[in-house]
Structure formats: C-alpha cells, structure tokens
Amino acid sequence: MSAKTRVNAKINGEQVEFLCEPRQSLLECLRDILGLTGSKEGCNDGNCGACSVLLNGRVVNSCLVLGVEVQGQEVITVEGLADWRGLHPLQQAFLDHAALQCGYCIPGILIASKALLDRETNPSEERIRTWLAGNLCRCTGYDKIVRAVQDAAARLKQARREVNS
C-alpha cells in the first residue's frame, strides 16, 4: 500500500475530504471510500459509461479519472440528482416511460442525459442517441430511454416556462 493523499472536493454540493492512493480512480473513491455506490463499474476502461459522473459540469467516466485529480473540483453523481422534494424530472421521466430494466446502467445514463439537457433544451432523437452512445444498456434496446430523455427535455422546458412567466 502506497502513501495516501488528502483530497478536498465538492461532491453533490457538499464539501468533502478523503484520503486515497494515487492509483485509486475517482470511481473507487466514490464507491469504496465515500460509500456512494450509485456510480457503477461495468468495464473500468471507459467503454460502458456506467460510471459516468459530472466533473465541473462535464460528463466523464469516473473510472478514467484519478481520485487525486478532483482536488478542488466539483463532482455530481446520481445520488446528487434528486433532493428532498422528489425525483429529478429526468428520473421521473425514466420511471414513467419504463426506461429501465435491470437498472445498472441507469445512473450513468441519467448523468449523461442531465449533461445533455443542461446545455440543449430540445435535442433530436439522433442527437440523444449520439450523446448516449458511450453509455451501454444491454436490457432496454434504448427505445424507452430515448423517449424518456425527450420527454424530460419537454418537462424541463415546461418548468422553465413556468418559472419565467
């Protein structure tokens, strides 16, 4: 075991501090040190997307980020989407559209979808499929996932309209 490094980061809105080895990925730190097991390991080489998190608002594979690299950065995981008021509109849309089966890829897909809808209000089917191509789902055939993201985009738009009016 090599020496551990102290890391300070903002995770799901909270300032946290943890100790990790440089070789531990952000995914390992989230899961094994911080107990945030919502982010999943599917391949550990950036090809499945199950570990997707937002790093400073940008979707990344947390298996390809070292824990020590997030010193001073901001991370959002699936655990940070819902709050006490209830599910995030994306989560609600996935629930309503039956867009999950086993659910293992879903945290990564929700995070990636959030990153998309944070920057684009009305993505086309092709755009959603391209954006999510790095998030493998073996159960659903993607149909209901794409529909749920489209519906969530509409819900978010509606919510923004209500806030603005």
Partner 1 sequence: MSQDKHSLAGGTNYQVVGTRPPRHDAPDKLTGRALFGPDTKLPGMLYGKMVRSPHAHAHIRSIDTRRAASFPGVYAVVTAQDFRWNEDPGAKLDESAINFAYLQENMLAREKVLYVGHPVAAVAASSNHVAEEAAELVDVQYDVLPAVTDVGAAMRPDAPLLHEHLITQSLSKPGQRPSNVASHFQHVKGDPSQGFAQAEVIVEHEFTTSTVHQGYIEPQACTAWWGLDGNLKVWTTTQGAFGMRDQLAKLLHHPMSSILVIPTEVGGAFGGKLPIFIFLEAVAALLSRKANRPVKMIMTRAEVFLATNPTSGAYLKAKMGATREGRITAVQAELYFEAGAYPSASVIGYFGFAMGFMFAPYDLPHGQIDAYDVVVNKPRTAAYRAPGVTQVNFPAEQLIDELAVKLGMDPIAFRLKNVVHQGSELIDGTSHGSIGAEEVLRAAQSSGHYGSPLQGPHHGRGVAQGYWGNWGAHSSCAISVNGDGTVSLVSGSIDLSGTRTTVAMQAAEVLGLSLERIKSSVGDTDSIGYTEMSGGSRTTFATGIAAITAAQDVVSQMRGRAALLWGVEVQDVSFDQGIFTTHRGGGRQMTFAEVAERLAETGGPVTGRANVDPQGWGGAFGTHIVDVQVDPETGKVDILRYSVVQDVGKAVHPSYVEGQMQGGAVQGIGWALYEGYQYNARGDMLNPGFLDYKIPTALDVPMIETIMVEVPGPNHPFGVRGVGEIPIVPPPAALANAIYRATGVRVTDLPMTPVRILEAMGVI
Partner 2 sequence: MRAFEYLAPTTIGEAVAALAGKGDGGRFLAGGTDLIVQLRCGVLDVGLVVDVKKIPELNVIAFRPAEGLTIGAAVPCHRIAEHADVARVYPGLVDAVALIGGTAIQGRATLGGNLCNAAPSGDSIPAMIVLEATCTIAGPAGLRTVTVERFCTGPGKTLLNPGELLVSVHLPPPMANSGACYLRFIPRHEMDIAVVGVGASVVLNADRAVIEAARLALGAVGPTPLYAEAAGAALKGKTPSEESFAEAARLAQKAARPITDLRGTEAQRRHLVGVLTRRVLRGAVERAKGGAADVR
**In the complex, which residues of this chain contact partner 2 (CB under 8 A)?**
1-3, 5, 21-23, 25, 44-47, 49, 52, 55, 58-61, 63-66, 68-69, 71, 112, 115-116, 130-135
23 is a site residue for partner 1 (CB under 8 A)? yes
39 is a site residue for partner 1 (CB under 8 A)? yes
Pairing verdict, β 74-76 and 5-11: parallel
19 is a site residue for partner 1 (CB under 8 A)? no
129 is a site residue for partner 1 (CB under 8 A)? yes
Residue 36 binding target from partner 2, partner 1, none, CB below 5 to 8 Å by type: partner 1
Residue 25, CA distances (Å) to 11, 30, 44, 46, 150 in order: 15, 9, 9, 12, 32
* Smaller CB separation from partner 2, 3 or 163: 3
The Cβ of residue 84 has, within 10 Å, a number of other Cβ atoms equal to 4
Contacts of 122 (CB under 8 A, 6+ apart): 153, 157
Residue of 115, 114, 137, 142 lying closest to 126 (CA atoms)? 142
Q: In terms of residues, how long is the chain?
A: 165
69 is a site residue for partner 1 (CB under 8 A)? no
The site for partner 1 (CB under 8 A) is made up of: 1, 21, 23-24, 28, 31-32, 35-45, 47-48, 50, 77-79, 81-82, 87, 91, 94-98, 100-107, 110, 125, 128-130, 132-147
